[in-house]
Amino acid sequence: MNRPNIVFIMSDDHAAHAMSCYGSRINRTPNLDRIANEGMRYDNCFCTNSICAPSRAAILTGLYNHLNGVQTLGDRFDGRQQTVSKLLQQSGYQTAIIGKWHLGHGGDSDPTGFDYWNVLPGQGDYHNPTFVEMGANKVYDGYVTDIITDLSLDWIAGRDKERPFFLMCHHKAPHRPWIPDAKHAHLYEDIDIPEPPTFDDDYSNRAAAAEAAIMRIERDLKKRDLKIDPPEGLSERELKSWKYQRYIKDYLRCVASIDDNVGRLLDRLDEEGIADNTIVIYTSDQGFFLGDHGWFDKRFMYEESLRMPFIVRYPKEIEAGSVQDAMALNIDFAPTFLDYAGVSAVEPMQGVSLRPLMKGEKPDGWRTSMYYRYWMHLSEHGVYAHYGLRTHDYKLIYYYADALGATDAIDDPKPPEWELFDLRNDSAEMRNVYSDPAYTDTVARLTEELHRMQLEVQDTPYTGRQQGA
């Protein structure tokens, strides 16, 4: 059996709308576009909880966060549970994870199922970062995105060529505070990056959660994000634009370095003669607001944050330049890898293999809705705890707005509220139609579907505070 190699490249907070293969209006990513042009672009790939550690745990386990134990940034991953890396390793794959881990360190939280691991502690540093290589600290000179790529290339070069390999190459960039390398430090210097259409959102016609969020470009970016003081004499609106330019340019400079480094990795696969038998994926742990709704950060179930970029190349099965609009989720990644590896026993994973979609087929009964939940009520960016349902045409969100004892959540309940967006004519999600009589039937149908799906994935509906709680 000639099983494929799997190179899983994941960046941190890279939104699909900052990739030219997804039609970016603000940057070009020629090397990422190579993957899409030579393979498939998924247009409806979503995370099940738009925050770093939980998405990573979902990818490793194929489980929703209430089952894998990482619901918030405050939860440590228990590596004793089943993971895709362990199963691939047991099936004979060589396995490695290099770069960002962000699931805790020490004890049962170190990476498991990897022959080799060399990861950043916590968020890690952009310049001259410390790594933890198989448990031992080691400082590397240089820029983190280059180093993660170098280490990945070294590991590929030193592999046993008789056995397939699984490499998780996890970039730290373009995570806050968006520090570019010297090579890209002056990129975009002489141009203005366009502001997004919803830049001046005033949060009217939405639940209270949107206005309450602490992620506004004009108010919530810090000196460490902007790096310099603004020029004097700017109006409030001019200052907002100035901050956006500072923010988005550094973000895109970090992305440009990722793009270069993905190019280096693709070139190496060509040089090694293994490009045809290697599945190459590029994704990010979630999306990000790039000034959309006047925001940076993620967490909300809104499109920019919910959507994961997901492009994949595998010439043996995937038609070049193809586009897939069926719904894929981060919990599907593990079952997909196992399918390609010929490992069939994936219980209790909740995701399903994307392999039929890769071949351009869409199995009967493929999901037409997905379930999402964010637990970190009011933590750091002030986003209310919520869960919801997205179908191809609608999004229903319930801000139950209660910590419910979650770690890294603030015990200060807010009045629960609903939102419904009609994505067919409001893809920017600017108008909550939950109370619009024209949508009464839709609300009823989607609410039922939400609760059906919540039970199906073994999560618990919010029923108010227990007496005495």
| Interface with Ca ion (CB under 5 A) | 12-13, 52, 285
DSSP state string for 162-188: TS-EEEEEE--TT-TT----GGGTTTT
Q: Which of 292, 193, 196 is nearest to 246 (CA)?
A: 193
The minimum distance between CB 141 and Ca ion, in angstroms, equals 26
Asked if 87 and 64 touch (Cβ cutoff 8 Å), the reply is: no
Residue nearer to Ca ion on the CB measure, 13 or 429: 13
Among residues 430, 401, 433, the alpha carbon closest in space to that of 417 is found at 401
Residue 53 C-beta: closest distance to Ca ion, Å: 8
Beta-sheet pairing, 45-46 with 310-313: unpaired
For residue 52, the minimal CB distance to Ca ion (Å) is 4
Q: For residues 111 and 164, which CB has a smaller minimum distance to Ca ion in the complex?
A: 111
Task: Identify which of residues 13 and 292 has a Cβ nearer to Ca ion in the complex.
Answer: 13
CB 289 to Ca ion: min, Å: 12
- HSE at residue 265, side-chain half, CA atoms within 13 A, is 35
Smallest separation, CB 345 to Ca ion (Å): 30
Q: Which is nearer to Ca ion, 174 or 335 (CB)?
A: 174
CA distances from 48 to 117, 332, 409 (A): 26, 11, 18
User: How many Cβ atoms from other residues are within 10 Å of residue 426's Cβ?
Assistant: 16
Residues 6 or more apart in contact with residue 9 via CB below 8 angstroms: 169, 170, 171, 262, 265, 280, 281, 282, 283
Shortest CB 28 distance to Ca ion, Å: 23
Composition of the chain by helix, strand, coil, percent to 5:
30, 20, 50
Of the candidates 255, 330, 235, the one whose C-alpha atom is nearest the C-alpha of residue 286 is 330
Residue nearest to Ca ion (CB): 52
Task: Between 115 and 408, name the residue whose CB sits nearer to Ca ion.
Answer: 408
Compute how many other C-beta atoms are within 10 angstroms of the C-beta atom of residue 425: 9
Q: What are phi and psi of 31, to 5 degrees?
A: -75, -35
Is the CB of residue 312 less than 8 Å from the CB of residue 279?
yes
Q: Which residues contact residue 386 at a Cβ distance below 8 angstroms, ignoring those fewer than 6 apart?
A: 209, 300, 301, 373, 374, 397, 398, 399, 400, 401
Tally Cβ neighbours within 10 Å of residue 77.
26
Q: Which is nearer to Ca ion, 285 or 304 (CB)?
A: 285
Least distance in angstroms from the C-beta of 333 to Ca ion: 15
Q: How far is it between the farthest Cα atoms of the chain?
A: 68
Torsional class of 12: left (φ above 0), alpha (ψ -120 to 50), beta (otherwise): beta
- Nearest-approach distance from CB 281 to Ca ion, in angstroms: 16
CB of 461 to Ca ion, least distance (A): 27
| Shorter beta-carbon distance to Ca ion: residue 380 or 456 | 380
The minimum distance between CB 231 and Ca ion, in angstroms, equals 31
Nearer to Ca ion, 13 or 419 (CB): 13
Buried b (16+ CB within 10 A) or exposed e, 433-465: bbeeeebeebbeebbebbeebbeebebeebeee
